[in-house]
């Protein structure tokens, strides 16, 4: 039975799984995965990325180490940190900005959530393009390395988290219209 479930999981991971919200698990195996989410926002591309950069105003506290999303910040410049302040002067570097094309694209590297503690490397590519009524923002997150051999399982969890955060971002951008 275990072999059948493992084979089924591998076959499922090799497909592009698309959800109604524009999210997809592009691929996954024991050593990595790629998830993609896109959302339509009622603001121009530059404002979409500016809202993305105000991460502490829309990211869920449930997906932070401090339990307080207001402690999250994103320094939108090459080398800038997506960081989180912790009690007692501590902190977390979730990701680092490695490429910035103002108003169009942000590329970050690092591991979100439990990936921070794994032997993995992640690249998040965030792009905003003009679309009818505003913009379309896409988030593509690729992770590779050794995550104790459960990249397929992690893909499902990470896809769900990023999809949920994208909906929160959309709500935040809609308020700024």
9 φ/ψ angles, rounded to the nearest 5 degrees: -65, -40
CA distances from 135 to 7, 46, 65, 98 (A): 40, 9, 31, 23
Average pLDDT, the chain: 87
Contacts of 22 (CB under 8 A, 6+ apart): 37, 38, 39
Q: Residue 30 — pLDDT band, cuts 50, 70, 90?
A: confident
Q: What stretches of the chain adopt beta strand conformation (E)?
A: 17-18, 23-29, 32-41, 72-74, 81-85, 91-101, 105-110, 119-131, 134-146
Alpha carbons 60 and 42: distance in angstroms, whole number: 21
Confidence (pTM): 0.85
pLDDT tens digits for range 47-64: 999 999 999 999 999 999
Alpha-carbon distance of 141 to 137, in angstroms, equals 13
Question: CA 16, CA 23: separation in Å to the nearest integer?
Answer: 10
Question: Under CATH, which number does the domain 2-175 receive?
Answer: 3.30.530.20
The predicted-structure confidence for 106-152, as pLDDT tens digits, reads as follows 999 999 988 999 889 999 999 999 999 999 999 999 999 987 767 88
Q: Contact, 148 vs 37, CB < 8 A? A: no
């Amino acid at each position: 039975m275990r072999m059948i479930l493992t084979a089924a999981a591998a076959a499922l991971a090799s497909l592009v799984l698309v959800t109604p919200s524009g999210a997809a698990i592009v691929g996954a195996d024991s050593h990595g995965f790629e998830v993609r989410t896109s959302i339509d926002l009622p603001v121009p591309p530059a404002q979409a990325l500016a809202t993305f950069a105000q991460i502490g105003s829309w990211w869920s506290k449930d997906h932070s180490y401090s339990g307080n999303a207001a402690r999250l910040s994103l320094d939108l410049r090459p080398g800038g940190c997506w960081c989180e302040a912790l009690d007692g002067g501590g902190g977390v570097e979730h990701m680092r900005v490695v490429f910035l094309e103002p108003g169009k694209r942000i590329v970050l590297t690092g591991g979100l959530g439990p990936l921070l503690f794994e032997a993995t490397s992640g690249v998040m590519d965030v792009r905003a393009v003009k679309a009818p009524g505003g913009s379309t923002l896409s988030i593509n997150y690729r992770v590779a390395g050794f995550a104790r051999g459960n990249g397929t399982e992690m893909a499902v969890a990470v896809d769900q988290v990023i999809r949920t955060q994208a909906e929160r971002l959309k709500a935040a951008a809609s308020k700024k219209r």
